[in-house]
Structure 1
């Protein structure tokens, strides 16, 4: 025989949130029969569609739905008993324990049900006795219920009743006045459930805000609309905590802020704007716009997200200007044109606006055959075209156009704008242009902080462009290089700078020739900075570094520690040699003596220099390099070396921070490299020279070679005597004093000076 139900201390209610998969839901409390269990889904009592197991069990049971409830729906299971007694014990009858237990269990279950119902009511706390009784229906009709000074129930007139804030100086106000100070979309019936068409409710709320001068708040949730929305300029502003989901007609602006015509929309505050198109536009109709803002002046706008339109955002001057306003931009996603800075009439202008941030991005599968732009500066036909003084700070562009037959450019400028600055731009997957100019724009500055397109970023001037003058500053892995504006050494044309030292050896103006296999036991700077070497090749445009060869600037680094090397060459390799204050070679001891800005350096023990771990190239963002020397490095050779393959070098430049002016070392007695002209002098007291006769002396000029151009001069008066010079032998210039007069000449003692110029 089954045991009777035991009623434990278990609440007669349980709730769940469905996941869309689970169909079985447990109830932990006992019920006497299936009809004692009430089943609600999102508050609605369910009749049918379920099976109930476990009626009559003390441990409860399970409700099984024929179809799993939708994900997110709330399931409520609770015991609901009829508060009635359906049985009776007979006089002088047999009182069976089972029947008595069943009756007592039913009573306990009913009491638990009442207790659960009472728990959700408004009631006095345990420390207070008595009760609160509502006034009669006729007395409380059309009145406001409240409490008097002793905490008892009191009635107030809706129109004249006053409520005050509990702070000193507070002024009592009517309830309507208090409620009217904050205007929300839900006050007009908007639901924000993402399904209901909230368009009429939003339109009514916006009309009320414009008429009353209030700020409109659109709360949390997704507010779907099938109609375009306009918040007139009479509204003080708009605060959005949720989003507008536009499912209206194509070719319309989903949300417009401000009035058209010659109306000044000043000192407004629009915060949290988020407008999403239900389906992505086909990008064919430019009237399909997410957010239009008209005639704003000295206002603040914060945009969280605009997505899926042909034009995401338009700042618009309509018969009046859009100016002196700050916009904070968030996600501007999947729009053909993310932001359109525009004028509509000849009387309008769009100027002096600050745009901060902005993530202009396109999905990788969105309209892969169509061009896209981040920001467009434009004007309607016949409208004002002299936009100026716009600032874009830190925008990021991911336009998904690189390596595709489409255009993806951050800025499209179609007007005659002036002084437009864009700072710290990020370019990811864009075309190799930061901007395209089609009109008379000038004085634009584009500062690129990061670019996957490498350093060859430019402005695209179309055939219709009538001005130039835009500046592009690429800082990605080149910021330190950009700051090195002091020129230390410059060889703009290596072929023109070559110096023939002999039939086989070549040197270069201002540069030292380097070898990776110096013979003997070299140890000082002069042992490695060669004036000339063989095995250099030449083309029409430059010099070719072949096996074992290099070129470098020799610098005094005792006061300046950072140097920037710029080269025009085919995949060159950086090389740096270090020397101490006595010009002795410094070798690597485990701690690097030099570091580079865009790549790692490795020690080449055979060549005795640090060399780049990779070629200096645009596609790896390693072409411009800054090298930093440790304090123990007093002198250095900074240049290029041939590693792996021959390559051509056309130009080289070395710079540093303009705070310093480090000497470039060349053409010195101990470092003769880099000088095309050689000079030397010697004391000479020639004997008397007969008429038509000559006298000779030799001057030692280190580096002079037969075939070099030579000239000479004497330090005292030489009237009638002509001085001739030629390189008679290696390192020797023969100077001839020829008496062209008709009488003997005896020159006073003096100094003979010889000059040699290399071919």
Structure 2
């Protein structure tokens, strides 16, 4: 008959194996009460899964079955580990069953075996010794000392510099303890307390000076280190590691923590980890010298910022008299700062380029300075400093700027410089202004991918009056991302040579395009005065048209709702021109309305003579400006967007006008009040022809604006015309003469009807 309870033999509750890479089951010879009573280790690491246990409740033990055999040479340790607890109780005057009592005694014996096994591996006196002083000295006596034994074998302490240590590995050499402990510098080595109350500033600065003098990395451990003075870690230090926080309670208008040297120094391959800098009282946001962390002249370095809070500027990356470049920043909580991150150049010799940023939670408390603008990331430069920041890449930043429904700006990116190739992906916007960026300088080729905007509003770029470039892109993934990935064509002239037609004996017109003149005579003031159906001075060549100085071609775009267009041109060094009109089609001039047009790759200048805005340079492949984005100001309701000859003649072959696919603006041409861009013209005239004798004719003159002698002409009659032939020709400007020939041998009397004249320009 099977035993009713586990029998606890004199077997050690631990067994060890060395795996061969094939064996998957390993036996344990000691009993366990439940599967969870066994501890499994591989190479010393406790395993929580990846195996099954059999044999629980058996006196002879069982086995551990790994789902995958441990690798060859792996140390496999199986050990019984029982919870020290009693879960049963015997009732007074109750039945005391032998099995229950045996189970309790078995459990106690098993637990005692574990205690015995543990004591066997502990540091202890030999049983032959009668005892001794094994109590540790008091804390203040053993602080900064080495633990050892005196001549009597009793526990004592020694000075650190009087002993040496060596690692238990082949090739290790003995070193003094002082040398070993000096491998790393700790702020507490210099007296820093970290209790949030004592002024640790002098101790922290002494530690930072020591790190620079020794070229070592400084550690600031757990705790809150209050300082009443700004701190500087020179560039000679290898780096800084923080597990606690610096609480700045010093004077305003200063940087709480500066890392790296300024001037022309190059601070390369630095490692700054776990940075946390908090301001004791939140800044009033008025002084931009009030900064949490300044990082100077870093190159090929790694920076992890866990938290910066309460400053006018949270973090500033600064190219001083040298650059800041090729560095990675891991960003955490950037909270309650007017500007979270300031990317800046200080001098004309500096630069700030090619930097990667990961994460970053830029947030503002709802009650903090509710009347002041705030920004997440700013690109800036000191007066006269280098302003061409480029290739900054942001991954997944989040912005909670508390600006929605307030008369302030709360915008993630502020670009005050001529930055290029700034790319931000997976941006989160919560309670921000309806703009992902504000551009006040010559920023271009920025790409902002907005993954989430809490209110679902349309997200764009806000251009200040001082902005000189446009053409950056917002990819609003939170609103019909698939639709926005395409481009909408507004109008196209894919072949200018084929689009050209003879408007008159001396003038040339173009399908869907307005002809422009740089010197319209008289006192023109409205759109029809400038959008001409035909002009002389165009020379047609085999593949296009030669635009001479003073001649241009343009699409007319309805800009009432859409303000941004892209013009693509195939031409030899063309020049961009834009003419603007209000809702009544009245010309808008720069003198009365300020800057009305901006372009992506060049400045736009007002020409009083031509009465249009023209690019400051030719569009050329070398300058990467062949594709131009045009941004129109709010007063502009209609715009002629095209190219013109300014200084030299050049050949133009094709033009296309596009816009954001979320917009569908009209391209206008060939209308009664805008008669340009059409080579086919039609007009009707009510007519009651007289009786026509046999073989005789009758004529009617049909007014047709735009008709010119030499145009192909045709005519038709609205009623039955049996026996009559209608002929047409342009006998005079704007008039088509229609002739009716009676081919019968009898008089012909047509009923009243409508004569339709049609001309086609070759």
TM-score range, shorter chain: 0.3 to 0.5
Q: Normalising to structure 2: TM-score of the pair?
A: 0.47
